[in-house]
Amino acid sequence: MILVLVEPGELSFEALALARRLGEPVEALVFGADGAGLGVSKAYVVEHERLDAYAPEAWAAALVELVERLQPEAVVAAGSDRGQEVMAHVAARLDAPLAANCVDVQPGNPYVVTRQRWGGSLLEEARLSGAVKLLTVAPHTIAAEAAGDGATVTVEPFTPSLGEDDLRVRVARREEPEAGTVSLAEARVVVGGGRGVGSAEGFAVLEELAQLLGGAVGGSRVVTNLGWRPHHDQVGQTGARIAPDLYIACGISGAIQHIVGCKAAKRILAINSDRNAPIVARADYAVIGDLHEILPALVAELRR
C-alpha cells in the first residue's frame, strides 16, 4: 500500500499521480479537506480539535501513527513547503532516509529515484531503501491526472494521538495577502524583469502590462538583490517557482538559477536586446530589441 499526504492545493494531486505508479492500493491521509475526489481506495480524514491551525510536528505525528498502524511500502507527499517540512519531520522520527523532490521513481526494493538537485538544473539517480520509503514529488514535474472517475472508495475519520510537544510549533496567526493581488505562484501570466529593466522605476511599464493581462510581476535575483523589487517577487531557485500559461521575460539573460524557477511555464516569451541570450534559446517566442521601446508599444497596442 502506498500512503499519500494530502493537503489543500493542486500539488497533492501530483503526489497522488506518482503514488499510483508505485503500486496499488493508494490510500491518503487528508488534512483540511473531506477526502472526496482523490481517486484513492481509502481516505483517512484528520479530525482533531487542536489541528484547526497548521502544526508541522503534529502532521508528522499523525503520519507516523498511521505508518505504524498500516505499514505502507511508501509515503508520498507534494514538494510543497508543507510537504517537504512534514516529511522531513517524519523521516527524523522514523530515522529513515527521505528523497526530496523526486521527478521519477522505479518501484522495487530498493526504489530507484530520480530527484532534483540545484533546483532541477541537475538530477540525481539514487537508491532509496528502508521498511518505508519516504519521498516528495518535485512541483510541476508530474502531471496531476485523476484516477478513473476520481471517486474515493472509503472515507474514514482519523484522530491522531498528539502530545503537547507535537503542538509546540503551530501557526499562531495569519496575515492574508492584500485583496486583489495576484500571487506569483498562481498567476496565469507573469511579467518578469531582469537587469535589462535598468532601475526600480523601469518596472512601471511591466506593472502596466501585468495589470492589462491580469498577471503578476516577477524579477530575477539580480533585481531583488539590487532592491529594484521586493524579494518575494523573485523567480528562481531561491525564490518562487512559477507555472503560468505565459512567462514574459524582459531583459533577463536566463541564468540557470532563474530558468529552474520559470521552466514550468507553459510558454515563455523573451524580450531581450541580445539574440544570443540563454533565455532566448529557452523561449517559445522572442522579440529582439530594447524592452523600453517594445513594452510601451505592446501596452499601446493592447489598449487599442
Partner 1 sequence: MKVLVCIKRVPETGARITLTADEQEIDTSFLGFTISPHEECAVEEALRIAGGETTVLTLGPAAAEEQLRNALAMGIGSAILLETDGREWGPEATARAIADAVREGGFDLLLFGNESADSGGYQVGIRVAHLLGLPCVTGIKGIDFADGAATVRREVGGGWEIFDVSLPAVLTVKEGINLPRYPSLPGRIKAKKAEITRVDPEWVAGGLEKVRLVVPQEEASQVEILGEGAAAAPRLVEVLKEIGVA
Interactions with partner 1, residue window 167-196 (CB under 8 A): 168-178, 181, 183-186, 188-189
Binders of partner 1 among residues 4 to 43 (CB under 8 A) are none
Binders of partner 1 among residues 74 to 103 (CB under 8 A) are 81, 84-85, 88-89, 91-93, 95, 97-101
> Measuring CA to CA, which residue among 128, 152, 153, 171 is closest to residue 136?
128
Binders of partner 1 among residues 233 to 252 (CB under 8 A) are 234, 237-239, 245-246
3-class SS of residue 295: helix
| Cross-strand bridge partners of residue 265 | none
Give whichever of 16 and 259 is closer to partner 1, judged by the CB atom.
Answer: 259
Residue 209 CB, nearest distance to partner 1 (Å)? 10
Applying CB under 8 A, the span of 12-20, 62-70, 152-160, 230-238 interacting with partner 1 comes to: 230-238
Residue 222 CB, nearest distance to partner 1 (Å)? 13
3-class SS of residue 247: strand
Residue 189 CB, nearest distance to partner 1 (Å)? 5
- x-marked contacts with partner 1 along 263-292 as a string, rule CB under 8 A: ----x-xx----x--x-xxxxxxxxxxx--
- x-marked contacts with partner 1 along 107-146 as a string, rule CB under 8 A: ---x-xxx-xxxxxxxxxxxxxx------x----------
Is there a contact between 134 and 94 (Cβ–Cβ < 8 Å)? yes
Alpha-carbon distance of 304 to 302, in angstroms, equals 6
Contacts of 161 (CB under 8 A, 6+ apart): 61, 65
3-class SS of residue 188: coil
- The amino acid occupying position 123 is L
Alpha-carbon distance of 20 to 23, in angstroms, equals 6
